[in-house]
Structure 1
């Protein structure tokens, strides 16, 4: 039996980057082999097929995202200020010349005609929303925290998609402040 001789996490990151940039449908397995440097047998033995590799890559990306959000919120002076910093960081990212939105959001939009994969992506996004809701629930109660988390996700989707249209950091920051007026934006340095 063939022995896997690669770092699984590294392959997941490389594959996630490829699917993220090119899209699930446009990514061929030949591109995966080339991008990861792996032979077809190694990829198929370790992951099964393109869909399974995509799901595991997306899951890996989502897990890292959730860990980053949780760590940022835990380290912030308050949950609300942490949310401001996260959203402000997304706006700053959107101004980069090589901006590529968010792997989860792009996949959600791309896979509208693939119900199984879209449901999988939706579940990852739902977990992020639940993370925000859980972080806010102590202060706002469960129902209000869920509503605020939903509003945060609406704004995240807006940032991730609108960035391709506008690119105006100032306009997006003003829109965030207007749409999420309950957050302590005045505590940010700009």
Structure 2
């Protein structure tokens, strides 16, 4: 008879996300995970298959919680320029505020790509969702006359996602908000 799982997998994924975010995939061992999660190695393998499975689950958790919250905040923002500024500044705050941990998705891309196609899909899905949300905000803003319609909203949104990725990588090198936040104003210049 199979044993029933004796731990909360959602809580375990959330805690694993924190550990992977703090240490990275390579520097996090299965032993680190079992100790941090307070579960046995057999339970980890039974629930997630292996370390890779738990890492993918952690990235999915990041996507559905923190990344999704940022997109909701963007959609609920007042005017487009303020909403985009708030999104970018908040991402900087998070990236430099946790001992320079950066963004889990960008960290995953830098550490696991191009070798891991499953991580590529997860990170690409997050970026596509960000691009699509930004494009919709920019499309509506152009229709309202809040921003100039000199650029295609999809292209402008792709630029902002690319800028954000670069900014988040830069936050690993220079984890200082005062140095990074003025760059947001330069990027906002693309809105016209």
Report the TM-score range of the alignment, normalised by the length of the smaller protein. Answer: 0.7 to 0.9
Alignment of 1:78-117 (within 5 A): 78-96=79-97, 98-117=99-118
Cα distance change on mapping 1:102 and 1:77 into 2, 3 Å: same
- Give the whole-Å Cα distance in 2 for the aligned partners of 1:180 and 1:39: 49
What is the RMSD computed on CA atoms of the aligned residues? 2.3
Unaligned 5+ segments in structure 1 are 185-190
Cα distance change on mapping 1:30 and 1:95 into 2, 3 Å: closer
- Give the SS at the match of 2:113: helix
Match of 1:154 among 141, 153, 162: 162
Question: Shift in Å at residue 106 of structure 1?
Answer: 0.5
- Give the whole-Å Cα distance in 2 for the aligned partners of 1:18 and 1:97: 12
Question: Shift in Å at residue 95 of structure 1?
Answer: 4.4
- Give the whole-Å Cα distance in 1 for the aligned partners of 2:99 and 2:133: 28
Question: Shift in Å at residue 37 of structure 1?
Answer: 0.4
Cα distance change on mapping 1:48 and 1:115 into 2, 3 Å: closer
Please list the CA deviations of residues 41-86 of structure 1 after superposition, one character each: whole Å capped at 9, or x if unmatched: 2212211111111111101101113321232123321233111112
Cα distance change on mapping 1:91 and 1:124 into 2, 3 Å: closer
Cα distance change on mapping 1:73 and 1:124 into 2, 3 Å: closer
- Give the whole-Å Cα distance in 2 for the aligned partners of 1:124 and 1:160: 15
TM-score, normalising length: structure 1: 0.83
Give the equivalent residue in structure 2 for 1:22: 23
- Give the whole-Å Cα distance in 2 for the aligned partners of 1:97 and 1:37: 23
Cα distance change on mapping 1:15 and 1:95 into 2, 3 Å: closer
